[in-house]
């Protein structure tokens, strides 16, 4: 059973619809027992790192998420909270990957938030990115980013290169929305389920 953590504000119906297309059982939950016993955990996020961390702490899920050994996928802000902290309100996050989430630069001609289709450049082999075509288009909606680091498995560019996909041990993250990213997104969700 895959558990999608109800982190508040995320488009859970769309995500569950995509997961169900792969023929696997999934549910939305904040129940510690269900999350701990899940085969895979998805941590979606829309909005701000501060709001998501506030909710996870209020539900007493922070320590549980940090202790998980099964595959965990953070999506959008769910990926951002895998890091130590965010410039967005100086928010302390889960600390599963070293580094700070930063605000995309405001440059002439650069539209924020970064919203729409952009290409992925896979930089390091990862089971999550297997079978994804070079320069595949995926869908982004964000104003904050994870800098390129040792955790980076794919990059995208919006004023500067940033981490589009990351991994540390059993923790994976994608800055884009796989459930809105067509065939590439479906391949990535399929890969995650098969980890």
In angstroms, the Cα distances linking 176 to 58, 66, 75, 108 are: 26, 22, 7, 23
Question: Known catalytic residue: 179?
Answer: yes
Strand 83-86 with 91-92, pairing: antiparallel
The active-site residue out of 40, 114, 158, 177 is: 177
Question: Known catalytic residue: 76?
Answer: yes
Question: Known catalytic residue: 85?
Answer: no
The active-site residue out of 40, 76, 88, 114 is: 76
CA angle at 139 for the pair 11 and 65, rounded to the nearest 5°: 50
d(CA 154, CA 162): 9
Q: Kindly state the DSSP code that residue 132 receives in the 8-state scheme.
A: P
For residue 165, the SS3 value is: strand
- Residues catalogued as catalytic: 76, 177, 179
């Amino acid at each position: 059973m895959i558990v999608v953590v109800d982190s508040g504000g995320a488009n859970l119906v769309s995500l569950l619809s995509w997961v169900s297309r792969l023929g696997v059982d999934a549910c939305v939950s904040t129940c510690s027992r269900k999350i701990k016993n899940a085969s895979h955990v998805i941590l979606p996020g829309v909005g701000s790192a501060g709001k998501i961390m506030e909710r996870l702490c209020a539900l007493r899920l922070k320590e549980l998420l940090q202790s998980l050994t099964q595959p965990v996928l953070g999506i959008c802000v769910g990926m951002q909270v895998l890091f130590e902290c965010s410039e967005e309100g100086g928010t302390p996050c889960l600390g599963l990957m070293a580094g700070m989430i930063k605000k995309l630069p405001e440059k002439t001609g650069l539209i924020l938030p970064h919203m729409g289709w952009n290409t992925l450049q896979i930089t390091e082999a990862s089971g999550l990115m297997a079978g994804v075509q070079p320069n595949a288009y995926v869908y982004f909606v964000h104003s904050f980013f994870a800098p390129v680091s040792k955790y980076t498995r794919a990059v995208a560019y919006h004023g500067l290169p940033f981490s589009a996909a990351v991994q540390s041990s059993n923790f994976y993250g994608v800055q884009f929305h796989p459930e809105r990213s067509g065939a590439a997104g479906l391949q990535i969700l399929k890969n995650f389920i098969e980890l």
